[in-house]
Structure 1
Amino acid sequence: MRFRQHLADTRPLQNPYFRRLWTANIVTVIGAQLTIVAVPAQIYVITSSSAYVGLTGLFGLVPLVVFGLWGGALADVFDRRTILLITTWGLIITTAGFWLQALLGNQNVWLLLGLFAVQQAFFAVNQPTRSAVLPKILTPDLLPAANSLSMTLFGAGAVVGPLLGGVLIPVLGFSWLYLIDTLCLFATLWAVISLPPLPVEGAEGRPGLRSVVDGFVYLRGHPVLLMSFVVDIIAMFFGMPRALFPEVADVSFGGPPGGGLAYAVLFAAMPAGMVFGGVVSGWVSRVQRQGLAVVVSIVVWGAAVVVLGLAVLAADGRAGFWLAVAAVALAVGGAADMASAAFRQSMLQASATDAVRGRLQGVFIVVVAGGPRLADVAHGAASPVIGPGWTITAGGLLVIVGVVLASALAPVFVRYRG
C-alpha cells in the first residue's frame, strides 16, 4: 500500500467521461505524432531545404496564437461539447487532406504548409475547450491527478510516436502515416460524442476581440493566475535548449551531422522523464501548497538544465558517460516540467470562474506553444557568441534566478493552496 501511494493517482479514470477522453487519447496522441514527424519529412523530400522545413514553425505558431485566444473566447460562450465536435471533425478532415495530397503525389510545398496551418487552427480551438471541460466533469481535488495522467500520456506519445514514424516512413510512405492518424482521430470523436451537453455558466457577450481583451483584464486582476503564466515563460524562454540539440549531438557528443544516437537520445530523454514522472505522480493529489510546488518544480527544471549544460561543456566531442549524464538531466527536467504543468493547469481550472476558463486556457496554449519557439530564437542567437554549453548553462541559472525573484515579488503565488 505504501508503494501504491507513490504511483499515479488513477481516481479520475473512475469518471466515465474522463476515462473515455483519456483512453481515446492513447490512440490519438500516437497518431498525431506520426503526422508531426511526417509533415517536416515530406516538406524536406519535396524541397531539399531546411529553410522550408523551418516554415512549419511560422505556419504553426500564428494559428496557435490567433485561434488559441479566439478559441478560448468561443469556449466561454458556446456549448463546449459542440465546439469539441466541430473541431474534432475539422482535425479529421484536415488530416484526411494530408493523406489525400500524399496519395496523389503532391509536390506543392505551399499546399502542405496551408493544410498544416488549418490543422493547427482547429487544434488551437480544440485544446483550450478540452481543458475547460475538465472542471465540469471532475471535482477540484481530482484535477491535479487528471492533468498528471494527461501529461504522462502526452509524454509517452512524444517518445513512441516519433520512433514509430521514423521507422514507418521508409516502409509505408507518408500517405499511410496520415491515414493512420485520420483513423485514430475517430477514437476522440467517439469520446466527445459521449459527453453530456456542457453549457457555460454565466456566459455573456460575443466571442470577439473585446471578449479576448476581457480575459486578459480578468487575468491582470488575479495575480496567482497571472504568475502561473509568468513562471512558465521564465522556465521555457531561458531553459528550453532544443534548438541546440543538433549542434550539441554533433559537436559535443560526436554524433553524425543531422541525426544519430546522440541526437535521438537528447530528444527522447525529456518526454521519457515526463512519462516516469507521471507514473510516480501519486503525490500530486496530496499537495496543498500548489504554488510552492510549481516554484520548486521549476527550480529543479533549471538545475537539470544547468547539469545538461555542464555535461555539454565536459563532453568535448566524447559520447558515453557525458551523454548519459545529459540524458538523465533531461529526464529529471522532463519529470519536473510534468509536475509544474499539472499544478499550473489545475490552478487555472480550479481558480477561474467557468465563464472565463476557456479564455485562460487559450492563453495557456499560447504560452506553452510560444515559449519554446521564442527560446529557439534566443538560444540560436546566443550559441554562436558564447557556445552551446555556456548558453545552456546560463539559461538554466537564469531560470532559477528568475523564478525565485518572481516568487519574491508575488508571495501570494507561493502561498496559494489548492
Structure 2
Amino acid sequence: MTEPHPPSPGPVRRLKALLPDLSPWRSSPDFRRMWLAGFVTVFGSFLTFVAVPLQLKELTGSALAVGAIGAVELVPLIVFGLYGGALADALDRRKLILWTEAGLGVLSGLLLLNTLLPHPMVWPLYLVAALVSALTGLQRPALHAIVPRIVPHEQLPAAIALNSLRWQAGAIIGPSLAGVVIAFAGLPLAYLLDIVSYALSLALVVGLAPSPASKDAEKPSLRGILDGARYAWSRKELLGTYAVDLAAMFFAYPTAIFPFLADDLGAPWALGLLYGAGAVGSLAVTLTSGWIARVHRHGRMVAGAALGWGLAMAVAGWLHNLWLVLLFLAAAGACDTVSGLFRSAIWDQTIPDELRGRLAGIEMLSYSVGPQLGQVRAGGMASLTNVRTSVWAGGLACVASVGLLAVSLPKLMAYDQRTDEHAVRMRERKAAEVTEAA
C-alpha cells in the first residue's frame, strides 16, 4: 500500500508564497521610516529626472548635450561615492543621511530659480547635476549601510525587495506624472514638487534612531578607502557583480535619449511612459518577489538577468510600434530588477559591518557610474548614427559583454549563499549578536 501524497498547497498559499515578504516592515520601525522617506524622495526625484534632460533638449536641441549630463555627473560620483563610503563607516549614518538630504533639496530649489528666469541658462543645469551627483555619492553608502543594522540578517533579501518596490513605485508615478505636469503646468511645478518631497523626507529621517560608527572605527582616510578596495578585490564574486552591472548599464542604458526616441516614434506625449516603462516591469517582479528566498545560486541569476536586460533593449530599439517598445522596455526593467535583487543579496549577506560603508561606496559606483557612462555613450552614438541604432546596438553589445564576463567569472557563477564561507560567517556573527543581546 502506497503512502498518501501530502496535500498540495492551495491557491491562496501559492499566491502568498509569491507576494513580497513584509517581515522587515513589521519588525523594524526604523525600516518603515526609511522606506517611507525613500518613497517620497524617489517620487520627487523622478520628476526632476525627466525635467532636466527635457529642459536641456528644449534649450539646446542636441542629443549630445543631453547625454553630456552623464559626463558632468561622473567624476563627482566617483570621488564623493568613495569618500561617502568612508564617512558611512566613521560617522553616524543617520546624520549623514539627514544633512545630504537637506542639501539635495536646496539644489532642487536652484533648478527652480533658474527655470523662473526670463531666459533660463544651460550651465546651471550642468552645475546642479554635478553637485547632486556629489551629494548622492556621499549619501547612498550610508543609506545602503544602515539597512543591515535595522533589519535582522535573515530578513535582508525581503528588505532589498521592499526597497526595490519603493523605488519602482516612484519610478512609475514620477515620470508619468512628470510628463503630464510639464506638458500642462510647465517645468517650474515639477521642480517645486521635488522640493516638497525632500521636505517630507527630512521630517521622516529626523525620527530615525542614531546609527553611530563602531567603537574602533577609523577616521575617513585614503588608507581606509584602499582597505575597502583591497577587500573587494579579494572577493572575486563581488568583483563579478560589479563588472556585470557596469557592462550592462554602459552598453544598454539609453534613457538620456528618450526625448528623441519619443519624437522618432511620433509620440512626444509618451515621454513619461518611456521613462516609466522599465519601472512597470520592475514592479511586476517585486510584487511577486516571494520566490527569491528559495533561490540560492545568486551569481547565476545576476548574469542571466543582465543578459535578458540587453536582449530586451536590443528588441526595443528595432521596433517602431510605441506599445511594443514600451512592452520590451518593461521586460528590460524586470530583468534589471532580478539582477539587482540578487546583487544586493550577495552584498548585504556577506560583507562585515565594519566595511559596510566603504563597500557600499564601491557598490554605488558599480550601479551608478555605468548609467552615467551609458548616457554619454547613448547620446554620442545617437549623434553619430541615429537614436534607434544607439538603442539596439547598445543592447547587443550588452549581451556580448555580459556573456563573456559570465564565462570569465567562475567564482560568481559558483556562488551559493547556503555554503559560501562569507555568508556562513555573517550568519554566525549575527546569531552571536542576537544571543549576546538576549
TM-score, structure 1 as length reference: 0.85
Aligned residue for 2:425?
A: none
- Does 2:14 match 1:2? yes
- Give the letter for the 1:281 counterpart: S
Aligned residue for 1:186?
A: 199
Q: Output aligned runs, 1:122-141, within 5 Å.
A: 122-141=135-154
Q: Output aligned runs, 1:363-374, within 5 Å.
A: 363-374=362-373
Decide which moves more: 371-380 or 406-415.
Answer: 371-380
State whether residues 234 and 403 of structure 1, in contact with CA within 8 Å, keep that contact through their aligned partners in structure 2.
Answer: yes
Any idea what SS the aligned residue of 2:85 has?
helix
Aligned residue for 1:162?
A: 175
Q: CA deviation at 1:101?
A: 4.9
Q: CA deviation at 1:283?
A: 1.1
Could you give the per-residue CA deviations for residues 270-299 of structure 1, whole angstroms, max 9, x where no partner exists? 121111111111111222222222122223
Could you give the per-residue CA deviations for residues 347-373 of structure 1, whole angstroms, max 9, x where no partner exists? 112211112211222222222222123
Q: Output aligned runs, 1:106-117, within 5 Å.
A: 107-117=120-130
Q: Would the alpha carbon gap of residues 286 and 217 (structure 1) be closer, same or farther in structure 2, given more than 3 Å must change?
A: same
Q: Would the alpha carbon gap of residues 203 and 85 (structure 1) be closer, same or farther in structure 2, given more than 3 Å must change?
A: farther
Q: CA deviation at 1:247?
A: 5.6
Any idea what SS the aligned residue of 2:354 has?
coil
Q: Would the alpha carbon gap of residues 177 and 377 (structure 1) be closer, same or farther in structure 2, given more than 3 Å must change?
A: closer
- Give the letter for the 1:361 counterpart: A
- The whole-number CA distance in structure 2 between the counterparts of 1:244 and 1:36 is 13
Any idea what SS the aligned residue of 2:36 has?
helix
- The whole-number CA distance in structure 2 between the counterparts of 1:387 and 1:34 is 27
State whether residues 128 and 361 of structure 1, in contact with CA within 8 Å, keep that contact through their aligned partners in structure 2.
Answer: yes
State whether residues 67 and 121 of structure 1, in contact with CA within 8 Å, keep that contact through their aligned partners in structure 2.
Answer: yes
Across the aligned residues of Structure 1 and Structure 2, the Cα RMSD in angstroms comes to 2.9
Aligned residue for 1:287?
A: 295
Q: CA deviation at 1:196?
A: 2.0
Any idea what SS the aligned residue of 1:356 has?
helix
Aligned residue for 1:358?
A: 357
- The whole-number CA distance in structure 2 between the counterparts of 1:113 and 1:239 is 23
- Give the letter for the 1:61 counterpart: L
Count of residue pairs the alignment pairs up = 403
Q: Give the percent of matched residue pairs that are identical in Structure 1 and Structure 2.
A: 36
Q: Output aligned runs, 1:60-71, within 5 Å.
A: 60-71=73-84
Any idea what SS the aligned residue of 1:196 has?
coil
- Does 2:252 match 1:239? yes
- The whole-number CA distance in structure 2 between the counterparts of 1:199 and 1:95 is 29
Q: CA deviation at 1:397?
A: 4.2
Aligned residue for 1:214?
A: 227
- The whole-number CA distance in structure 2 between the counterparts of 1:357 and 1:374 is 25
Could you give the per-residue CA deviations for residues 183-233 of structure 1, whole angstroms, max 9, x where no partner exists? 222332233222222123365433233332222211111111111101111
Any idea what SS the aligned residue of 1:200 has?
coil
Q: What are the ranges of 5 or more consecutive residues in structure 2 without an aligned counterpart?
A: 1-12, 418-438
- Give the letter for the 1:223 counterpart: K
- The whole-number CA distance in structure 1 between the counterparts of 2:258 and 2:185 is 28
Q: What are the ranges of 5 or more consecutive residues in structure 1 without an aligned counterpart?
A: none
